[in-house]
């Protein structure tokens, strides 16, 4: 069966719009992907026909809303191959999921305990650990990468000591596209008695994720980067760990029994879901997962890879253009600079031509420092992007190079 990109594009009404009089070319998918009609329809349908608070009501609407959210939880479990829905926690997104781990699992660590991060982490996988370090005296160590953006695994191994308790690493870098060897990193962490938390924000829409195959103890991702609604995400955690961890936030839904003499917690996963969740978005995550599965994650990955190769080849013919991130097997994210042109100016000129890219430090300032730059321009592809869009992009880059360099 061939890949019908036009049929896919027809599912995304936004792709028909113009920007500055030009057809939109949306290459900012690593920041957020667009949303297909089936997901928006599901949200609409909930608001129009079944909206009721979950897990509380005996009435029909509440039961329907609860069932929809729990079906989505089961869908997410299957999607990442977790053992049980007890291990699937709905969050606001990757950021909240990582804060949950840093705060709750982090509270079990002692002063002088060590955690290992990498130089290519997103700020949301750095700052929560720094907050923990300043509260509790935990020590942070950082794995370096080479000029291609490949992590130095020898350095990684050498960072372990008798005090190492946790590793937290991006599955796929949002700047370089590097796909990190998380299964191997997990094995090494486990050999040293440490747990591993994987930031999957850039992975889940581009490759098949199997949390048990990886050996991940925690795995975090956001719905809005995988064709789903905003403000919804998942934290997977291994049951034994989640059971030993204290609640992250207190409130409704997460309790067993409340009294001023002492309160008990709800069972997993509800212990970590205080307050009314975004149950509309949580339910719609299922539509996004099923949408990707109908196309096929492998088919999406192959399509994106072809665009990546085609775009990379074309970009390298643009005078003065340098690509940051050349790891073998990288995902469809291309960070670049042209000559001495400022990334911001390049982004503005591309926008004039209808092309949406991201510019700046991409929430990865330590990585920018590693490469001795302040920021890059980043193009990132999704299931609905085309070779024709890449052609327009390369033509636009030539104009930028002629104007700015």
Ligand X SMILES: *Cc1c(COP(=O)(O)O)cnc(C)c1O
Choose, by CB under 6 A, the member of 29, 168, 202, 232 that binds ligand X.
202
Angle 204-208-212 from CA coordinates, rounded to 5°:
95
Residue 19 CB neighbour total at 10 angstroms: 15
Nearer to ligand X, 104 or 125 (CB): 125
By the 10 Å C-beta count (0-12 exposed, 13-18 middle, 19+ buried), 253 is classed as: middle
Nearer to ligand X, 104 or 202 (CB): 202
Q: Which of 55, 5, 36 is nearest to 251 (CA)?
A: 55
Stretch that binds ligand X, among 109-117, 122-130, 160-168, 302-310 (CB under 6 A): 122-130
Does position 206 interact with ligand X (CB under 6 A)? The reply is: no
Choose, by CB under 6 A, the member of 93, 149, 215, 237 that binds ligand X.
93
Distance between CA atoms of 210 and 197, rounded to whole angstroms? 14
Please report the sign of the dihedral spanned by the C-alpha atoms of residue 219, residue 224, residue 229, residue 230. Answer: positive
What is the nearest approach in angstroms of ligand X to the Cβ of residue 9?
24
Nearer to ligand X, 90 or 160 (CB): 90
Name the 3-class secondary structure at 185: helix
Does position 180 interact with ligand X (CB under 6 A)? The reply is: no
Active-site residue flag, 75 = no
Q: How many residues form the binding site for ligand X (CB under 6 A)?
A: 13
Does position 29 interact with ligand X (CB under 6 A)? The reply is: no
Choose, by CB under 6 A, the member of 33, 94, 205, 376 that binds ligand X.
94
How far is C-alpha 53 from the chain's CA centre?
A: 27
Nearer to ligand X, 356 or 405 (CB): 356
User: What's the Cα-to-Cα distance from 160 to each of 112, 143, 156, 167, 173, rounded to whole Å?
Assistant: 13, 11, 7, 10, 22
Q: Which of 230, 236, 235 is nearest to 285 (CA)?
A: 230
Nearer to ligand X, 297 or 396 (CB): 297
Nearer to ligand X, 95 or 385 (CB): 95
What is the nearest approach in angstroms of ligand X to the Cβ of residue 117?
12
Does position 335 interact with ligand X (CB under 6 A)? The reply is: no
Q: How far apart are the first and last CA of the chain?
A: 44
Distance between CA atoms of 4 and 387, rounded to whole angstroms? 13
Does position 346 interact with ligand X (CB under 6 A)? The reply is: no
Does position 124 interact with ligand X (CB under 6 A)? The reply is: yes
What is the nearest approach in angstroms of ligand X to the Cβ of residue 337?
20
Q: Per-residue DSSP letters for 272-284?
A: G--S---HHHHHH
Choose, by CB under 6 A, the member of 8, 25, 201, 332 that binds ligand X.
201
Does position 35 interact with ligand X (CB under 6 A)? The reply is: no
Choose, by CB under 6 A, the member of 11, 28, 113, 199 that binds ligand X.
199
Nearer to ligand X, 226 or 341 (CB): 226
Choose, by CB under 6 A, the member of 205, 222, 335, 359 that binds ligand X.
222
Catalytic residue among 75, 145, 197, 363: 363
Q: Which of 225, 233, 204, 223 is nearest to 100 (CA)?
A: 233
Q: Per-residue DSSP letters for 41-78?
A: HHHHHIIIII---TTT--SHHHHHHHHHHHHHHHHHHH
What angle do helix axes 297-315 and 387-404 make, rounded to 10 degrees?
30
Does position 33 interact with ligand X (CB under 6 A)? The reply is: no
What angle do helix axes 60-80 and 279-295 make, rounded to 10 degrees?
40
What is the nearest approach in angstroms of ligand X to the Cβ of residue 340?
28
Choose, by CB under 6 A, the member of 34, 46, 95, 178 that binds ligand X.
95
**Mode of pairing for the β-strands spanning 164-170 and 195-199:** parallel
Choose, by CB under 6 A, the member of 55, 73, 77, 122 that binds ligand X.
122
Choose, by CB under 6 A, the member of 170, 234, 355, 382 that binds ligand X.
170
Output the furthest CA–CA distance in the chain (Å, rounded).
72
Does position 376 interact with ligand X (CB under 6 A)? The reply is: no
Nearer to ligand X, 198 or 341 (CB): 198
Task: Give me the residues that bind ligand X (CB under 6 A), please.
Answer: 93-95, 122, 124-125, 170, 174, 199, 201-202, 222, 224
| Catalytic residue annotation | 363
């Amino acid at each position: 069966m061939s890949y019908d990109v036009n049929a896919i594009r027809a599912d995304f009404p936004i792709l028909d719009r113009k920007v500055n009089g030009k057809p939109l070319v949306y290459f900012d998918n690593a920041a957020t992907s667009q949303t297909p009609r089936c997901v928006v329809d599901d949200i609409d349908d909930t608001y129009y026909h079944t909206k009721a608070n979950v897990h509380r009501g005996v009435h029909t609407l509440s039961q329907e809303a609860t069932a929809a959210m729990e079906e989505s939880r089961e869908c997410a479990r299957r999607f990442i191959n977790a053992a049980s829905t007890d291990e699937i926690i709905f969050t606001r997104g990757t950021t909240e999921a990582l804060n949950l781990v840093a705060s709750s699992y982090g509270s079990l660590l002692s002063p002088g305990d060590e955690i290992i991060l990498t130089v290519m982490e997103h700020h949301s996988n750095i700052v929560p650990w720094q907050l923990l370090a300043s509260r509790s005296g935990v020590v942070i160590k950082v794995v370096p990468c080479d000029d291609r953006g490949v992590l130095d695994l020898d350095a990684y191994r050498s960072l372990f000591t008798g005090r190492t308790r946790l590793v937290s690493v991006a599955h796929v870098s949002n700047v370089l596209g590097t796909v990190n060897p998380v299964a191997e990193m997990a094995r090494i962490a486990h050999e040293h008695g440490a747990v591993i938390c994987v930031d999957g924000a850039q992975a889940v829409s581009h490759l098949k994720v199997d949390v048990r195959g990886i050996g991940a103890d925690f795995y975090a991702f956001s719905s809005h980067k995988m064709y789903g609604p905003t403000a919804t995400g998942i934290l997977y955690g291994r049951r034994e760990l989640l059971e030993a961890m204290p609640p992250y936030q207190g409130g409704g839904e997460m309790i067993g029994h409340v009294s001023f003499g002492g309160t008990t917690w709800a069972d997993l996963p509800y212990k970590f879901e205080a307050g009314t969740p975004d149950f509309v978005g949580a339910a719609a995550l299922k539509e996004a997962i099923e949408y990707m599965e109908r196309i096929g994650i492998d088919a999406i990955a192959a399509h994106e890879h072809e665009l990546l190769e085609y775009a990379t080849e074309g970009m390298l013919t643009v005078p003065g253009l340098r690509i940051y991130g050349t790891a073998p097997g990288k995902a469809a994210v291309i960070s670049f600079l042209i000559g001495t042109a400022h990334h911001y100016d390049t982004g503005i000129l591309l926008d004039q031509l209808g092309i949406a890219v991201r510019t700046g430090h991409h929430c990865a300032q330590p990585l920018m420092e590693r490469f001795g730059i302040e920021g890059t321009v980043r193009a990132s592809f999704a299931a609905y992007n085309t070779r024709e869009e890449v052609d327009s992009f390369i033509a636009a880059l030539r104009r930028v190079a002629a104007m700015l360099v």
